[in-house]
Structure 1
Amino acid sequence: PYLRPLYDALYEMLGFEYVAKLIERQIIEVAPLAYMRGRTLNNSFIILDESQNTTVEQMKMFLTRIGFGSTAVITGDITQIDLPKGTKSGLTHVIDVLKDVPGISFTHFLSKDVVRHPLVQ
């Protein structure tokens, strides 16, 4: 159930049948972070969603999966961290550690960028 929002977004953008075809052909793979250990993702476009809820160790594990020819996009909202008290978010950690690294950039959105119902803004 926790992968449902990702599937919903894919279906909305591309349509159910097309997404099913891309998944069947293994062009799109949706995988929980817990199953990434030991993999190297070469020539891939990799999205880590809801990264505010990764630990520092999980974020490191994710970043070290990125292989040659790959691009990674990491999304998250630091105002929605659900980790236990005292656990540092992997997202806030990489923002601090990687902010000055060439080739890495961060995009911060404002409330006006929210594309949900106006009540959410």
Structure 2
Amino acid sequence: MLFGHQSQRLGPGQCRALARGGAGDAEVTPLAAAKLPAIASAQAKALRVDFAPGAESRPHSHPGPVFVVVASGAVESALDGGAVQRFKAGDAWYEAPGQLHRITRNASQTQPASLVPGCSRTARRRW
């Protein structure tokens, strides 16, 4: 279970919002959900961020909403003044526009880790 959601088996045609009816009997597991602010997103992109063992990023924020999925390894993350949380491969979290991503670091000193953030922004804001 992640973010209060459990995996659910979907029958044919029940997945139109996700795959326009092409899901068949696929198992769909919600990773993260959030009510997005009322902004017109002109662009969206997904990135892969690779952390060497022990690596970390500087504190930062994003102009638009961001969903982050851990692709491999484990990372530690803290938003605003919140507690540091540990996320492993397959886990996800949401960052609101402008929210301070205070800590992002590889939780391991010996293994690499990768994140896949999905970011959006309005046409007038820089990445």
User: TM-score, length-normalised on structure 2?
Assistant: 0.29
Q: Choose between structure 1 and 2 for higher RCO, CA contacts under 8 A separated by at least 6 residues.
A: 2
Whose strand fraction is larger, Structure 1's or Structure 2's? 2
